[in-house]
Amino acid sequence: MGFQPLHAQLFSKEKVRNIENFDKKRWSWGYYLGLNTYDFKFEYIEDGKDVTVNKNMGFNVGLIGNMRISDYIDLRLEPGVLFGDRTVIFNDVNDPTWADKADRNVKSTYIHVPLLLKFSTKRINNFKPFVEAGISTSWNLSSNEKNPTDNYGGEFRMKTNTNYWEVGFGIDLYLFYFKFTPSIRAVFAMSDELVRDNKPNSEFTGNIDKMMSRGVFLNFKFQ
């Protein structure tokens, strides 16, 4: 019984428009909840065995500030807290002393602040697709950047601050009382994030030229 009216409101040709003037406001606010998976892209100095990454699911939560520029363009600030989890496996470690200890579980807590431009289509009844792109910066509260202990002591170290570029897409669904927006976004680090081991020819980090995060976010936004 409940599905038919919702389907009619969102997708039918009926001119039933929920919160019709919502997008005419100069400013709007909201929040989001979501999931993430983080990976690393590695570049190497010399050929060797690749460092591999096992990705685990993480969690996102944050706020939304939206400024309307035109009927089809919005500027959005979406600060949030992201919890990520990756396992880094150093396959090129040949030293038998460390060969059975070459995995590093990397748990990260990010303060993540993206600034995005959102480009929407014309609203069709109660839904409106969009694409978005922008830049962001983050602070990894679990980076270990200042920790003097390196991989030989069991500590994986990353730089605290990283900048990214981001691109994504989604759809605005206009419900009776609020706007609900599922979206998918990819993020790509712009610079090297790895803090090398104290030993220059480290079995762990000596052959890595660059290590940059990549991630995919699935967010559910409420405005």
Find the DSSP H helices in the chain.
3-11
Q: Per-residue pLDDT for 12 more than 80?
A: no
Q: In terms of pLDDT, which residue wins out, 18 or 170?
A: 170
pLDDT of residue 3: 52
Tokens for 194, please give them: 């790895």
Q: For residues 158 and 155, what is the distance between their CA atoms, to the nearest angstrom?
A: 10
Confidence of residue 95 (pLDDT cuts 50, 70, 90): low
Tell me what pLDDT residue 1 has.
44
Residue 64 is assigned to a structural domain of this protein: yes
What is the reported pTM? Answer: 0.85
As a whole number of angstroms, the distance between CA 186 and CA 107 comes to 19
The pLDDT of 4-32, averaged and rounded, is 76
Q: Which one, of 212, 187, 182, 183, lies nearest residue 136 by Cα?
A: 187
Per the domain annotation, does 29 fall within a domain?
no
CA distance 143 to 107: 9
In one-letter notation, the amino acid at residue 156 is F
18 in any annotated domain: no
Give the chain's domain count. Answer: 1
Please give the average per-residue pLDDT across 33-43, as a whole number.
96
Report residue 47 as tokens: 């050929």
Q: What is the CATH number of the domain that holds 74?
A: 2.40.160
Question: Beta 103-120 vs 27-44: how paired, if at all?
Answer: unpaired
Is residue 36 assigned to a domain? no
Q: Look up the domain containing 154 and give its range.
A: 51-222
Rounded Cα gap, residues 211 and 73, in angstroms: 34
Query: Is residue 22 in some structural domain?
Result: no
Residue 85 lies in a domain: yes
Q: What is the mean pLDDT of the chain?
A: 90
User: pLDDT by residue (tens digit) across 103-134?
Assistant: 889 999 999 999 999 999 999 999 999 999 99
